[in-house]
């Protein structure tokens, strides 16, 4: 699944190519991508100029007039191409621009969305803080976690708690912080939260520097693959040996999502009240 680093990489790639250009055409081979509002709602953006390309969590936003915009959510297998998409991929939508650029949205599992928002504010406000912003402090993270008894892995995936972190980068951050993914979020003391906060930021920034992780369908808009996966310690590595201690990496289910971790470097926290 494209997470914050992948979406940010895409944003940086397409921003200089389409900002200042007008949207001249929207083709929807799969109209369901437009969501409940339907394909007709996207006709409102024809002729609109792209003022900026933004990212909020895992959402990519083409900012238009006022506070309106086109929001692209790639979900599990979505990808965006400014070149000819790879053979065998299915285009669900394509946007054409006045400067000759064409942005193609492919999506094998058809879970992604491309929708027009007349007012972006409700979408932006319902998401948690951006983990790379300056005002996302260790104290702010601790405040958000202290009211949640759910496993810390599940808390990190909750986009209302922190925006943009997904399955693989949550695994990597928990490994660096030495925290077991099943630990209740509100059991973490201030020192553990600070270690986790630092790990989240380091993992995400490192992945951006490596242009995201091409684990499945993700690719850059020019067709190149990201390289962040080559730096993974535990994510997608069940059965491999821990790079720290040599213990085989295990995978457990945390609610509905898998979590890869080292049982030695990330031991469970014993409940001393029992």
CATH of the domain at 210: 1.10.8.50
Enclosing domain of residue 30? 4-126
30 and 111, same structural domain?
A: yes
Residues in the chain: 274
Tens of pLDDT, residues 218-262: 999 999 999 999 999 999 999 999 999 999 999 999 999 999 999
**What pLDDT, on the 0 to 100 scale, is given for residue 271?**
59
DSSP string, 85-110: PPTT--EEEEEEETTS-EEEEEETT-
Of 42 and 270, the structure prediction assigns the larger pLDDT to 42
DSSP string, 189-230: -HHHHHHHHHHHHHHHHHHHHTT---SSS---TTSPPP-GGG
Show the tokens assigned to 109. Answer: 């599992």
Total number of domains in the chain: 2
In the predicted structure, residue 263 carries a pLDDT above the cut 80: yes
pTM recorded for the entire structure: 0.95
Asked if residue 164 is part of any domain, the answer here is yes
Mean pLDDT of 84-111: 94
Q: 10 with 221: CB under 8 angstroms?
A: yes
**What pLDDT, on the 0 to 100 scale, is given for residue 36?**
87
Q: What is the average pLDDT score of the chain?
A: 95
Taking the C-alpha atoms of residue 151 and residue 156, their distance in angstroms, rounded to an integer, is 9
Tens of pLDDT, residues 141-192: 999 999 999 999 999 999 999 999 999 999 999 999 999 999 999 999 999 9
**What pLDDT, on the 0 to 100 scale, is given for residue 274?**
42
Taking the C-alpha atoms of residue 226 and residue 220, their distance in angstroms, rounded to an integer, is 7
Cα distances (Å, whole numbers) of residue 244 to 40, 237, 261, 262: 54, 14, 12, 9
110 and 37, same structural domain?
A: yes
Among 94, 126, 158, which residue terminates a domain? 126
In the predicted structure, residue 80 carries a pLDDT above the cut 70: yes
Tens of pLDDT, residues 7-36: 999 999 999 999 999 999 999 999 999 988
**Which residues carry out catalysis?**
2-3, 58, 257
């Amino acid at each position: 699944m494209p997470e914050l680093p992948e979406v940010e990489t895409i944003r940086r790639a397409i921003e200089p190519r389409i900002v200042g250009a007008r949207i001249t055409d929207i083709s929807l081979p799969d109209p369901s991508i437009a969501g409940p509002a339907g394909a007709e709602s996207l006709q409102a953006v024809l002729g609109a100029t792209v003022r900026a390309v933004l990212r909020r969590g895992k959402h990519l936003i083409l900012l238009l007039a006022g506070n309106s915009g086109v929001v692209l959510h790639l979900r599990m297998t979505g990808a965006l191409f400014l070149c000819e998409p790879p053979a065998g991929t299915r285009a669900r939508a394509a946007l054409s621009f006045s400067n000759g650029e064409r942005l193609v949205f492919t999506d094998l599992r058809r879970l992604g969305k491309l929708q027009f928002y007349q007012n972006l504010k409700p979408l932006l406000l319902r998401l948690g803080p951006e983990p790379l912003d300056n005002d996302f402090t260790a104290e702010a993270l601790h405040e958000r976690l202290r009211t949640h008894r759910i496993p810390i892995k599940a808390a990190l995936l909750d986009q209302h708690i922190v925006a943009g972190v997904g399955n693989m980068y949550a695994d990597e951050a928990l490994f660096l912080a030495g925290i077991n993914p099943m630990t209740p979020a509100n059991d973490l003391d201030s020192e553990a939260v600070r270690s986790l906060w630092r790990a989240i930021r380091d993992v995400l920034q490192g992945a951006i520097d490596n242009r995201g992780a091409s684990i499945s369908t993700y690719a850059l808009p020019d067709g190149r693959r990201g390289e962040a996966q080559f730096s993974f310690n535990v994510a997608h590595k069940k059965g491999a040996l821990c790079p720290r201690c040599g213990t085989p990496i295990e995978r457990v289910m945390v609610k509905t999502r898998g979590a890869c971790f080292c049982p030695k470097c990330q031991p469970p926290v014993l409940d001393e009240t029992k």
